[in-house]
Amino acid sequence: MSGTSNYAVSGQTTGDVTSTSTGTLQVTGSANAHAVSSTVGAVTYLAAAQNGATTFKGAADKTITLMGTIATAVYTEDSTNDGDIIIGTIDAQAATITAVTGAAGSLTVNAAGGAGTAITTITALTGAHSSYTLNMSSTSAVTMANAGTATAITINAVDANAHIFIADTNTASVETFTGGSVIDTVDLGQGGDSFTSGGGADIFTTVVATDTAVALGFTKSTAVPTTAIGTCNMDVITGMAAGMTVVTGLTTASAVALVRNGGTMPSAANAANTASALLVGTYSSANEIGRAHV
């Protein structure tokens, strides 16, 4: 397709849908793996009937809607996919989104929950896309694949619904998560992540043995160094509210600790409790410091 017209394509089997037109291109997904390429005109891809892998190419902006309506919906791309990408998913069936190194432009995923419980899985790579933004609504669930290497991911889960977010295991990755007023269940990544609770009985889990951003302690009898935490690749959790839990798997005898954002150390006279850290074990806001100081 070429020229200046707007085009609509449906019933695609295999092969590419290719457009050099300056007009728009609308493609209806199908049960067949295929590719969609547009160099100029904006693309809208209707993925409600998508049942396979679709590869996106070309410099045009692209909007993909209703991925995950039926099973085996896969988004991928090639290195020419340089426009701004917006992908909408629902949780009726699992959806998979995989970035490719060399693709430019922003990548935004709008993950909407609904009657289902399926998970959207995203592989975010460094050297692919200028930014990664995840907007979670309703009771949605998203996993960042462990193959991901992106260094900055923004997650907005601010509506009044429960969300599930599982970070990847890339130690260079920094997730910035903002939650809503209902329970958010979050597995922290292994880099210096920033999580802001919207209130409620949120559950944050970190694997201390592999999380490079778990703090090893700070000067006793002083305020928690929030500025330093924000600039030295530590995990930061703000907005502590009644019912929140931070699960670390540590015991009171552990040599490492999780530092939370806010509060002060006990007095210097209580040297046994102020030698190294504010908190170990599992934090529960019900009793403010959970288990014990080291």
Proportion of the chain above pLDDT 70, given as a percent: 77
Q: How confident is the model at residue 243 (pLDDT cuts 50, 70, 90)?
A: confident
How much is the average pLDDT of 224-253? 64
Contacts of 116 (CB under 8 A, 6+ apart): 68, 90, 91, 92, 93
Query: What letter would DSSP give residue 286?
Result: T
How much is the average pLDDT of 62-76? 95
How much is the average pLDDT of 173-179? 91
**250: buried, middle or exposed (CB in 10 Å: 19+, 13-18, 0-12)?**
buried
In a domain, 16, yes or no: yes
**For the chain, what is the domain count?**
1
Judge whether 137 and 112 are in contact, CB under 8 Å.
Answer: yes
Cβ-based neighbour number of residue 251 at 10 Å = 11
- Which structural domain, as residue segments, surrounds residue 28? 7-208+235-249
Q: Quick one: CA dihedral 156, 95, 162, 291, positive or negative? A: negative
Task: Give the pLDDT confidence score for residue 206 in this predicted structure.
Answer: 81
Strands (E), 232-274: 236-238, 245-247
In a domain, 269, yes or no: no
How much is the average pLDDT of 152-164? 95
Strands (E), 119-172: 120-123, 131-137, 141-144, 152-157, 163-166
Say which amino acid occupies 279: L
Sheet holding 194-196, edge to edge: 7-9, 25-28, 43-46, 62-67, 85-90, 106-112, 131-137, 152-157, 174-179, 194-196, 236-238
Q: Of 6-20, 128-142, 242-256, 268-282, which one has max mean pLDDT?
A: 128-142
Min mean pLDDT across 53-62, 208-217, 236-245 is at: 208-217
In a domain, 292, yes or no: no
How much is the average pLDDT of 208-224? 59
Q: How confident is the model at residue 252 (pLDDT cuts 50, 70, 90)?
A: low
Average pLDDT, the chain: 82
In a domain, 214, yes or no: no
How much is the average pLDDT of 249-259? 55
pLDDT in tens, 183-205: 999 998 888 788 888 887 889 88
In a domain, 197, yes or no: yes
Task: Give the pLDDT confidence score for residue 214 in this predicted structure.
Answer: 67
Q: What is d(CA 215, CA 233) in angstroms, rounded to the nearest whole number?
A: 9
In a domain, 265, yes or no: no
What is the pTM (predicted TM-score) of this model? 0.85
In a domain, 136, yes or no: yes
Is pLDDT at 219 greater than 70 in this prediction? no
Contacts of 210 (CB under 8 A, 6+ apart): 169, 190
Beta pairing class for 34-38 and 184-187: unpaired
Task: Give the pLDDT confidence score for residue 124 in this predicted structure.
Answer: 96
Task: Give the pLDDT confidence score for residue 209 in this predicted structure.
Answer: 73
Task: Give the pLDDT confidence score for residue 272 in this predicted structure.
Answer: 42
How much is the average pLDDT of 168-193? 89
> Hey, what are 133's tokens?
């933004």
In a domain, 188, yes or no: yes
Is pLDDT at 231 greater than 90 in this prediction? no
Judge whether 87 and 64 are in contact, CB under 8 Å.
Answer: yes
Stronger pLDDT, 141 or 284, i.e. the higher one: 141
DSSP bridge pairs for 204:
186, 246
Q: How confident is the model at residue 13 (pLDDT cuts 50, 70, 90)?
A: confident
Q: How confident is the model at residue 19 (pLDDT cuts 50, 70, 90)?
A: very high
Strands (E), 138-278: 141-144, 152-157, 163-166, 174-179, 184-187, 194-196, 203-205, 236-238, 245-247
